Amino acid sequence: MNKPAKLGLDVKAPAKRAEEPPFAVHPGAIAAIVGATHGDPFSVLGPHRVGHDLYEIRVMLPGAASVRALAVEGGDVLCELKLVDPSGFFCGRVSSVHRPHYKLEITWPRETRVDWDPYSFGPVLTSDDFSAIDDVGTSRFYNIFGAHMVEHGNVVGARFVVWAPNAHNVSVVGDFNIWDGRRHPMRLRHETGIWELFVPELPQGQRYKYEMRDHSGRALPLKADPVAFRAEHPPATASVLHGLPKAKWHDDNWIETRGAMQPRKRPISIYECHLGSWARVPEEGNRYLSYKEFGERLIPYVRDLGFTHIELLPITEYPFDGSWGYQPISLYAPTCRFGTPEEFGDFVESAHDAGIGILLDWVPAHFPNDPHGLARFDGTHLYEHADPRQGFHQDWGTHIYNLGRREVMAFLVSNARFWLDQYHLDGLRVDAVASMLYLDYSRRPGEWVPNRYGGNENLEAIDFLRRMNEVAYQTKPGVFTVAEESTAWPGVSQPTYAGGLGFGFKWNMGWMHDTLRYMSKEPIHRRHHHHDMTFGMVYAFSENFILPLSHDEVVHGKGSLLGRMPGDRWQRFANLRAYFGFMWGHPGKKLLFMGGEFGQEREWNHDRSLDWHLLADGNHKGVQTLIRDLNHAYLKIPALHQRDCEDSGFRWLIGDDRDNSVLAFARFGDGPDDVVVVISNFTPVPRDNYRVGAPQPGAWDAIINTDAAQYGGTSPERLPPMHTADEPSHGHPWSLNLKLPPLSTMILQRRR
């Protein structure tokens, strides 16, 4: 009987397949990449040598169905990458002695694409580039930081660079990676706390932000790029890949002419403008005008009225319309509310073509606490002071820059230079300077931290402002800076080498407050407040002053300039015209907020266009005509502008006639015959046979009479010449016997 054979005893077992060795990447590293928490993604992703002639290619592509590595030359398949983690981590091996040069063929659910692997490229920044982080005042900062289109490894793409030294990890997220932080984690350059990434063949126009975790691994809100050159339209908050503006400039003649001028000697009459409410298009949903339309409408309007400059309320990108731009997020991006960066450049050039300079309201004093902004940028108080007694504005709910950090100073000073360099702006008006200079600004005892000497001066802010001004004046001849500084801080507009802050000009807030308080009084009471109109001359030449009637005087319940004038309708207009005449005759450069030039009736509203229909009324049209004539007189007559900032350009003739509320003074230019006389009557009573001393004998013409019929007054359009008599008065051997119209200012020029 045959015994049954043992199962398998005589069957040859099949050869066992050799198992592939496991991939060299550590499972913990894969988990960190998958979780978007790895602090050094280039140590995991991309090509890595794992043997003498063996490389592993590792990629993180969530949602991909399959991935192959293809040779750049010829397109041969180098390897098929294996899905190592279901979240999208792929790994494959290439037999090669040299680092493989490859692209990735990626099969997505709806398409197959061939793309470069960002992690196959080496570092983007060099050691020389690192110094840009604290290189105060050069253009290198904004040429390194932000998102730029560059060529790297013979491939064109986008280079992202951001400073976040305390972040555990940073990824760039955007439209190009469906906002998935696992796809484009960045490389940390440990020397400086800078993160970088080159994304090959990425087209412009992509929205992006930075995804970060703080040093403890906690996820932070997505952050806009601090050096973004373009941003998307608020209320959306992403940055837009754009690079430096590509405007083609043709304003060499303007720049050359500007550089040869001394701003202190020039006529400077500034039209302050909020672009969003200057004019809108009601028939198209009350939309904004575009930069192109402003070039076609605003520039000719300003030129016709004789203003020399337009000062723009901040157009650095800001999230909240109600801040008027004074709480900006992207300091390097002109707001997209009105168009592209290049279109803004075209607007500036159209102004220069018309002989108009452009000034920008610039806000280095503070920044908003919006979660996508600079506040706790990398999880720490990177840009702001950590101590709220130094780093938080109680009045405005904003953060204060830590100007003691050299990197923060470089960020801001380079930004000032950026606007002068890249957009050819003609100057910067710096907002809220007083809040920067004083550590105890708007704070009670115990709410502020003294400086190292125990004082209330912000020494870091002083250093910053001086450096910013030095850079501005050294960079672009002919530009000027202006300080909105509301205290008696000494030397605001004195050179830094003389111990000053280095501004070109300072807003004369005291003059503005005093004179508006006087003008708001009923004329019968003005005799008791006469000093409000004269006190400004006590300090008029202590700084280089601009006389500002700004947006701040027509908001928050203050009403319009016209609305603050007392009396009936005729008197209100007459008061306003007389006040403008006094202002244009007074020493100091001029600034007027939009709408004031035609006597806007209502308080300014940033959500509405100016009331242009008022120009159909003769009184409003008259105010506009007066401003045009005042500006053109100011431009043409040296005595009205050459010595705006010098005491030799002014002499009181009558400063003490409080009973009649009359003021008279002479203005002098550089030439011996450059002289005018300014006389204001601030009561509704005509003054006959009013004698005023004359600096020179002869015939005098009333080049401005704010009571003239063409302005809405009661006097003839032209008054006959007035001749001096050899009768001493007010310290002069000659005098004029005048008839002063009610509520009026006259500017008289000696006939040569």
Please give the Cα distance from 186 to 169 (Å, whole number): 7
For residue 398, CA distances in Å to 313, 327, 374, 448, 457 come to: 18, 8, 11, 16, 20
Please give the Cα distance from 51 to 523 (Å, whole number): 95
Give 327's contacts (C-beta < 8 A, 6+ positions apart).
Answer: 318, 319, 320, 363, 366, 367, 368, 396, 398
Give 126's contacts (C-beta < 8 A, 6+ positions apart).
Answer: none
Measured in whole angstroms, the distance separating CA 296 from the mean position of its chain's CA atoms is: 23
> Which phi and psi angles does 494 have, rounded to 5°?
-100, 150
SS3 annotation, 560-602: CCHHHCCCCHHHHHHHHHHHHHHHHHCCCEEEEECCHHHCCCC
Instruction: Give the orientation angle of helix 569-585 with respect to helix 618-636, to 10 degrees.
Output: 10
Concatenate the DSSP letters of all residues of 188-219 into one string: EETTTTEEEEEEETPPTT-EEEEEEE-TTSPB
Give 3's contacts (C-beta < 8 A, 6+ positions apart).
Answer: none
| Residue whose tokens read 């244009």 | 584
Among residues 706, 715, 700, 691, which one has the least CA distance to residue 585?
Answer: 706
> Which phi and psi angles does 646 have, rounded to 5°?
-130, 135
Please give the Cα distance from 161 to 460 (Å, whole number): 27
Give 424's contacts (C-beta < 8 A, 6+ positions apart).
Answer: 249, 251, 255, 345, 348, 349, 352
Choose, from 117, 384, 407, 431, the residue flagged as catalytic.
431
58: its two tokens: 């590792």
User: Could you tell me where the beta strands, DSSP code E, fall in 572-709?
Assistant: 589-593, 650-657, 662-668, 675-681, 687-694, 699-705
Q: Is 111 a catalytic residue?
A: no
638: its two tokens: 């040296």
- Asked whether 506 and 546 are in contact (CB, 8 A), the reply is yes
Q: Is 568 a catalytic residue?
A: no
User: Quick count: other Cβ atoms within 10 Å of Cβ 604?
Assistant: 23
DSSP 13: P
User: Quick count: other Cβ atoms within 10 Å of Cβ 43?
Assistant: 12
Q: Hey, is 619 helix, strand or coil?
A: helix
- Asked whether 594 and 263 are in contact (CB, 8 A), the reply is no
Choose, from 105, 135, 211, 484, the residue flagged as catalytic.
484
Residues that are catalytic: 431, 484
